Structure 1
């Protein structure tokens, strides 16, 4: 199932792969600001002779056309960084830009996909069909995949595959199970309006701080008492903005939070319940409530046939012991918008190594990857494309 020429090409490019990742890591760019990263990718593809087109405002779509007719498989690598201060500044490839850091591994994804593309060009004469490369911007704000789809990224695509470096898994391990992988992620905002006044005269006021506090305490019962325990769901209140001064009873309170689910019925129920709870709590105190519910990413559900192919490819390329049973995460991924257009799967490649201090959580200022995992990811990209087009 695997192609030995791909394996050899990845091995020969391992040093370059690490250099690419370090360059990208040191020059992070935020969502839809990846101008230099986009230019760098285009320059690299020019060197490989791979035709491409830029998407607006950032991002790249490229096609490797095989010598034989066949289907089209898309490989996706995201490339945006986060507004995070890098704490492990002792590494030689530390971010050069204050307040910005590749704290999630997208630098790794981009570099792995570039080297996978390089390896695939060496077997164009054997390739049946087309490999589409999607260098995606703005994953961190869940807007990049939708923007690329609108600009034709998935036109003619029969299957799509993505990878995420995963610090919570041991280096080299690969996880890709059929079914749910990443959760849908939504945002809710609740604005309570009371009646402000002097802190010494509460009887003339409606305390928005009290209303908001009651809502925060009670809203968790939506999960604990109205949702089937076998239907995973998380509701988190992450922000509460209330009051203006220590001796003024608050007139306004703003609450923001997130909801994570895997199935639409649970998602719909929680959305409806948030409005019901907000209205009920506000009415109890004589206040008013306004609710805004914003649907973000869809759940990432791995197609069974595609996920099984990932497992077969990984086992043949790296040995059966490489497979890892990672449970679905309540984290979110806008790769889901590609899966809305074609079947496919999303794999995790482990990069956690306690001896290299790479087990930090994603989005943490100390986040780093074990660079030994890069070759695993690059080869998995390329071998999956080969296997899919030749199955």
Structure 2
């Protein structure tokens, strides 16, 4: 599909940026993002006698709190490797130590070296903590996406196109996000860049975030995106 493609450009909506503007940076603009699923098992038992079994809920709690702390000491802190748990399920009664627990998390990091190391590091950390608490662990590490890394000339093309259409004030610097984006896979094959497309309504001071229930978009941003891409294509052809 990408044979013969010389450059690839993208935008991603950003509610922090006002409509009519874009956020841009050269280099990494998003982070790597993977998924982690952990199953813990033990014989179960009565909460009156946790010493006679595997206290599985405590083991799960230790995995939740200690895996991120352990990883922070096994990679360069500048990599931003972070595990954040989004789902925890175990047990059905207050006086029964369960036999099974399931945990799910996202694993995010800022750079490619840490992303490549992450599966082995996470496996080792979970196994180490589960074993310490006499729980059997099973880990499913699901690769997601690497960081989106904006190629310099493509990012400058987007910057020049936006300035040509709307002036220098229409472009602002943006930070690397810890969010993940599958546009990164295209950039493994073709040079390109992604900009943050402003979608916040002019004058709206409410803090909104992507995926939040109150997320709102100024639909005028669609025309701005089309204008940006059109200007970029024309600039690139005339270069």
TM range (shorter): over 0.9
Contact conserved, 2:79 with 2:114, CA < 8 A, in 1? Answer: yes
Q: Which runs of 5+ in 1 are unaligned?
A: 1-151
Equivalent residue number for residue 102 of structure 1: none
Residue 273 of structure 1 and its aligned partner are, at CA, apart by: 2.2
The correspondence for 1:325, drawn from 170, 173, 179, is: 173
Distance 2:218 2:206 in 1: 6
Equivalent residue number for residue 205 of structure 1: 53
Deviations along 1:214-253, whole A, 9 cap, x unmatched? 1111112134323323222322111111112221111111
The correspondence for 1:347, drawn from 188, 195, 198, is: 195
For residues 306 and 362 of structure 1, do their structure 2 counterparts lie closer, same or farther at Cα, with a shift above 3 Å needed? Answer: same
The correspondence for 1:306, drawn from 135, 149, 154, is: 154
Deviations along 1:94-145, whole A, 9 cap, x unmatched? xxxxxxxxxxxxxxxxxxxxxxxxxxxxxxxxxxxxxxxxxxxxxxxxxxxx
Contact conserved, 2:71 with 2:122, CA < 8 A, in 1? Answer: no
Equivalent residue number for residue 145 of structure 2: 297
The correspondence for 2:72, drawn from 224, 227, 238, is: 224
Residue 353 of structure 1 and its aligned partner are, at CA, apart by: 3.1
Distance 1:282 1:222 in 2: 13
Contact conserved, 1:222 with 1:273, CA < 8 A, in 2? Answer: no
Distance 1:349 1:279 in 2: 42
Q: Which runs of 5+ in 2 are unaligned?
A: none
RMSD over aligned Cα, in angstroms? 1.8
Distance 2:50 2:12 in 1: 53
Please give the TM-score of this superposition, normalised by the length of structure 1.
Answer: 0.58
Is 1:375 aligned with 2:220? no
Contact conserved, 1:358 with 1:369, CA < 8 A, in 2? Answer: no
Is 1:315 aligned with 2:163? yes
How many residues were matched structurally?
239
Distance 2:46 2:71 in 1: 37
The correspondence for 2:26, drawn from 153, 158, 178, is: 178
**SS of match in other structure, 2:199:** strand
**SS of match in other structure, 2:73:** helix
Equivalent residue number for residue 8 of structure 2: 160
Deviations along 1:255-278, whole A, 9 cap, x unmatched? 110111132321233322221122
Equivalent residue number for residue 191 of structure 1: 39
**Greater share of strand:** 2
**Greater relative contact order structure (CA < 8 Å, 6+ sep):** 2
Distance 1:185 1:278 in 2: 18
Deviations along 1:47-102, whole A, 9 cap, x unmatched? xxxxxxxxxxxxxxxxxxxxxxxxxxxxxxxxxxxxxxxxxxxxxxxxxxxxxxxx
For residues 296 and 210 of structure 1, do their structure 2 counterparts lie closer, same or farther at Cα, with a shift above 3 Å needed? Answer: same
Distance 2:178 2:202 in 1: 24
Residue 347 of structure 1 and its aligned partner are, at CA, apart by: 0.8
Please give the TM-score of this superposition, normalised by the length of structure 2.
Answer: 0.92
Residue 386 of structure 1 and its aligned partner are, at CA, apart by: 1.6
Q: Which runs of 4+ in 1 moved over 4 A?
A: 356-359
